[in-house]
Amino acid sequence: MSEYNISVIRGDGIGIEVVEEGIKVLNAVGGEYGIDWNWVEHPWGSDYYMENGTVMPSDGLDTLSESDGIFLGAVGHPDIQDHITLGGLLLPIRRSFDQYVCERPSVLYEGITSPLEGYGPGEIDMVVVRENTEGEYADVGGFVYPDFPEELGIQSAVFTRKGCERIIRHAFELARRRNKARHVTSITKSNALGYGMLVWDRAFDRVAEDYPDIETGSLLIDAACMDFIRRPESFDVVVGSNLFGDILTDIGAIITGSMGLAPSGNIDPERRYPSMFEPVHGSAPDITGQGIANPLATILSGAMMLRHLGEEAAAESVEKASLRVVALGETLTPDLGGTSRTEDVGDAVVAALT
Ligand code: GGG
């Protein structure tokens, strides 16, 4: 019997609803594979902010550091500026626990019709490896004369040799492990951002030398956005900065059917700290409370958490069950053309486990 203490941050909006289904599925698979979950709920996010003036308590990171993993829903509220929730909760967690890898797979599953014509199951199959602790999301900058007509804001991007090399190396290792096209594409914009992005490009060239068995390519972010739509089959592992990775994975999600199918893992590969697993999508206030949010991205994030914890068989079981539900097409939420409710999809995945 394995035992895991998992911190749960449902967060805001549909995050609360989809995490419910994720836990339901993980409890069910835990029963089959001898996994005992101890879920520790933290009611942090926008409601907490409205009551306390911060999105998490001052000892929040210390509390999370005790856990074996973090399972997160979504953050964001229409009445609160997004930088407060993202910058007060997600980004400090990613940085403090050195979750420098954000893995975001995009796969076209059987039963899903891509908005791109002519693609069948498996014909889009890539992982974006997003740098998760520095780049454009580094918390470096400031204001001069805030709220005055002379107001000025400076936002600096940070690209360190260490930070670039370690994320790029992770991408190459992943390309080896996946053993598919064995190709890594670097996303850059060094034609315009001629300092930080040059550190990135040079790191890519250096690390690539250690992987002669892996093919490489380098694309400007604008060209990469175009090629994600024009020829998504040409991508295997894609490595990009914090911002570029975030942009590309929305495209990756939508060309493979729905934001509601896109999982992610914020990972400390060295396992010094807990890693965090969350759907790529946000809190979706437009559908909150209607019971129609797609929980599959969260359930698949749960599978990524299982794999990170070393529970490979259970991870595979959750993935297979989720894909069976998608392929059958009988229990799908409206984003995938169905009429089912969030909890029906969770139930269907549980039923498909056995
Ligand atoms: N489930 C993820 C979530 O709530 N995301 C909100 C968001 O704005 N994310 C941006 C990011 O991941 O960098």
CB 21 less than 6 A from any atom of ligand 1: no
Residue with tokens 């060295």: 270
Residues 195-227: pLDDT tens digits?
999 999 999 999 999 999 999 999 999 999 999
Specify the pTM: 0.97
Q: Which of 246, 335, 344, 347 is catalytic?
A: 246
* 59 catalytic per annotation: no
Q: How confident is the model at residue 192 (pLDDT cuts 50, 70, 90)?
A: very high
Residue 354 pLDDT greater than 80, yes or no? no
For the stretch 238-279, pLDDT in tens is 999 999 999 999 999 999 999 999 999 999 999 999 999 999
State the closest ligand 1 atom to the C-alpha of 91, by its place in the atom list counted from 1.
Answer: 13
Mean pLDDT along residues 92-120: 98
**Mean pLDDT calculated for residue range 126-152:** 97
Active site residue 145: no
- Answer yes or no: is the C-beta of 76 below 6 A from any ligand 1 atom: yes
Nearest Cα neighbor of 175 from 162, 190, 186 is 186
Gap from CA of 2 to ligand 1 centroid (Å): 30
Q: What pLDDT score does 90 carry?
A: 96
Active site (annotated) includes residue 139: no
**Centre of ligand 1 from the C-alpha of residue 280, in Å:** 6
pLDDT for 34-73, tens place per residue?
A: 999 999 999 999 999 999 999 999 999 999 999 999 999 9
pLDDT score, position 179: 96
| pLDDT(323) > 90 | yes
Q: In what order do the strands lie in the sheet with 215-220?
A: 35-41, 2-11, 69-74, 275-279, 263-267, 101-107, 125-131, 237-240, 183-188, 215-220
| Residue entry with tokens 């090399």 | 165
- Closest C-alpha to 237, from 280, 178, 188: 178
